[in-house]
Amino acid sequence: MDPQVKAQAFKTQVQHKIQKLIAEFAEGIISREQFHIIYERYTGQLTLADMASSSNQPDMVMGLLHDMPPTYAVKQAHMGKAVGIAIFHNRTLTQLETLGDFDVAPDKLAPILNDYTLQVQRTKMVEREVRKISAKQWLVFAAGSYSTVVTLFRNEPSELQIREIMRLHRDFEEANRPYFEAGRPDKTKLAYPFLTFVQRKVQGTAPNAL
């Protein structure tokens, strides 16, 4: 195939990948961080394809693409991964349970959690909250009628991952409603839908590495 024709075909291929990337973000499959990094990568590839199309040495220009790491590797490196969950009782502000590796310094968590749980106590409905606490650590706060779940992610979580946490939280509160309504619950008697979630995610056996 003519090198310039090859460059044009590659450009078309990248444009299709960009449309797929846009659709994935719109559906909540990838995070904003992943979107920005991969979109910038594809834009760079389009620039190289344009240069190759108008260059006297298109093969040399296209050869620069081989020096880039695979897009899959880039995507995986920036994918959100749930590594730990902490569950707090709204009424007493006490910690009920920790699952996985919830390695967050108390001085980072306490101010955010206190503010969030106070909002929960004052209103019937509180929006979930996502906060970046370090270069690679993100916290997702999800409040329910009886408890607040804080999930620690390595890298920014996607909307799909956040929705799964909220679904599990609803199941957690529904399954344990009798214990919560009876007063301060005994954590040894509670059922934890999050348990399998954290185990699968840490082991990397779940689809989309949630």
Average pLDDT per 10 consecutive residues for the chain, totaling 210 residues: 73 92 95 93 84 63 61 83 91 88 86 78 77 92 91 94 93 95 88 77 43
Kindly list the domain boundaries of the chain, sorted by start residue. 3-77, 81-209
What is the SS3 assignment for 129? strand
Secondary structure E strands in the chain: 81-89, 95-100, 129-132, 137-143, 147-154
DSSP state of 204: T
CATH number assigned to the domain covering 81-209 = 3.30.450.70
pTM, rounded to two decimals? 0.78
Helix H segments across the chain?
3-26, 32-54, 58-63, 71-77, 106-122, 159-175, 177-181, 194-203
Res 63: pLDDT: 60
Res 54: pLDDT: 67
Length of the chain: 210
Res 65: pLDDT: 61
DSSP state of 152: E
Res 46: pLDDT: 85
Q: How far apart, in Å, are the Cα atoms of 121 and each of 155, 175, 210?
A: 30, 21, 30
Res 205: pLDDT: 42
Q: How big is the chain by its Cα radius of gyration, in Å?
A: 22
Token code pair at residue 8? 């044009």
DSSP state of 207: G
Q: How far apart are CA 158 and CA 24, in angstroms?
A: 10
Res 76: pLDDT: 83
Res 154: pLDDT: 93
Token code pair at residue 80? 């959100």
- CA 32-120-98 angle, to 5 degrees, is 70
Token code pair at residue 165? 């946490």
Res 124: pLDDT: 61
Identify the sign of the CA torsion 206, 152, 29, 191: positive
